[in-house]
Every structure is written in structure tokens, then in C-alpha cells.
Amino acid sequence: MLSVEVSSVVMPEKSSGGEKALVWFWLSLLVVILDQVTKVWVSANLALYQSIVVLPFFNLTLLHNEGAAWSILATAGGWQRWFLSGLAILISGVIVIWLSRLKRQQRWLACALALILGGALGNVIDRLMYGYVVDFIDVYYQQWHWPAFNIADSAISVGAVMLLIDALRRPAD
């Protein structure tokens, strides 16, 4: 009886919350890989500002964004590279901790966080390596163009919407 009590105290359960939720890192890694591969391909095949029409509402257009979303802070003088990189790294750390504390049944939330983490890391790689983020997805209607974006931005956006849905569907405590 004593040995059973000691072993249950000394040995943690194999299925701790962090161990369960951290399996979602594969999704973050997939986002980073897809993001970086597509950016390398576009950069190798298009000149800066060159567009290739793919569909009547979608072009591949190579752009370099030195700022944040919608080129906010793009002309800030260079400090934004380090500020935005540091912010993304800080947020990524918070997300890793958050993921490590989730339970297995919190799949939706874990997926949302993993997408955001992968997107943040994909863009921070660009900022640290080049000083800008490579954008290339150009969606438009007639003359109106949505600001260009990339796979990492898409993952962040989908993850953020999933976070909102998760918050709205949770019962109030």
C-alpha cells in the first residue's frame, strides 16, 4: 500500500496537460515550412512588384513589407524591425506556455494557438533575416486591392478568428 502511494506521488501521469496540447506544434511547424517555402519560391521567380495573374481576383505579386499589417510603421526608420520581431517572439513565448497548459479536449483552442504561433514565427524569420516580410498574395476586386499578405498572415488571421469563436462559444463562468 505504501509503495503504491509513493509511486503515485513520485511518478507524474503520462498524460499531463502540456504533453497533450504540445502535440499541436506539428501544425505550427507546417505553417512555418509552407510559409517559408512559398516566400522563397515567389522571391526566386518574381521581381519586386512584379505580378502574375492567377485568377480574375487573385495575383501573385512580390512585395517587401518593412512594417506590420497593412504596412503600418513601414516608414518608421528601421526600429520597427526589432520592435516587431521582439513582440512576435514575446507573443510566441506566451502562446507556447498557453499551449502547454491546455487539456487534450481543447483541440479547437490548441489549433488556433498553433496557427498563430506558426504565422508569428514565419514572419519573424523574415524580419530577422531580411529586415522585411515577404508578401505575395494579392486579392482584389476591379481596382480595389486588399493589402498583400502571405501564408503566415493567413494562419494568424484564421487562428485569431478561431480564438474569437472559442471565446464566444464558451459558457460564462
Active-site residue set: 135, 153
Paired strand residues for 61: 51
- Give the separation between CA 59 and CA 136, rounded to whole angstroms: 8
Give the strands of the sheet with 58-65, arranged side by side: 51-55, 58-65, 133-141, 144-145
Number of residues that this document lists for the chain: 173
Q: For residue 166, count other CB atoms closer than 10 A to its CB.
A: 16
Paired strand residues for 138: 59
Joined grid coordinates for residue 138: 494579392
Rounded CA Rg of the chain: 20
- 150 touches 119 (CB < 8 A): no
